[in-house]
Amino acid sequence: MLRHHDVPAHALMLEMTETAVLQRPELAARVLRPLRDAGVLVALDDFGTGYSSLSYLLGVDVDVPKVDRSFVAGLGAGSSSDGSATAGRVVVEAMVGMVDGLDLGLVAEGVETAAELVDLRQLGVRHAQGYRLARPGPAEATTRLLQAASVALGRPLLGDSSQAAVPGARGNDGAVAR
C-alpha cells in the first residue's frame, strides 16, 4: 500500500498502547518485526502508565516512546502541593536520558500550556503534541497546516521521501513544534 501511494515507509508511524504490548508482547514483536524491517516506525503510546517494563523498549523494537500526559501535566507551574509536578519532572527527565542513551525519539503527549512546553524544552524533549500546539482536525486542514509549515521552515514536510517529518525517524533532527 505504501508503494501504491508513493509514501516512504519512514513516513508512517504506527502507535501501540503500552497496555496492548504488555498483554501479548511476543505477538506484538512478531507482528511489528516485518513492518520495522520495511522501515515503518513504531511509537509506544501511554508509556509509563501501565505496569511497564523497560525491556519492552528493546523486545518490541520501539522507535518512539510517548510520555503520557499524566507526567506532563503541571510542568512549568512549580511545585504542586501533592508533589505531582516535581515527580512528573523527574520521570520526564529520566525518560529523556533513557531514550537518548537508546537512540530513540520521544514525544510528550497532552501539552496544554506554554509553561509545560518551555519546561519540556529545558528537559531536552524535542517533540510534543497536545492542544497547546494544535487541536485535532480534518485531514484537509492538517495538510494545509503542514504545507504552511513547509513554507515557513523553508523545507518540505510533505511529499519528500528524503526528509521525514515525524519524530524518531532516522535522520530527522526536528524540534518541538511552536
- Among residues 15, 93, 109, 112, the one annotated as catalytic is 109
Q: How many C-beta neighbours within 10 Å does residue 61 have?
A: 15
Please confirm, yes or no, whether 109 is among the known catalytic residues. Answer: yes
Q: Are 158 and 151 in contact (CB under 8 A)?
A: no
Buried b (16+ CB within 10 A) or exposed e, 108-133: bbbbebeebbebbbebebbbbbbebe
Helix-strand-coil percent breakdown of the chain, rounded to 5? 45, 10, 45
Q: Quick check: helix, strand or coil at residue 66? A: strand
| Alpha-carbon gap, residue 53 to 125, rounded angstroms | 21
Q: Quick check: helix, strand or coil at residue 41? A: strand
- The residues assigned a catalytic role are 109
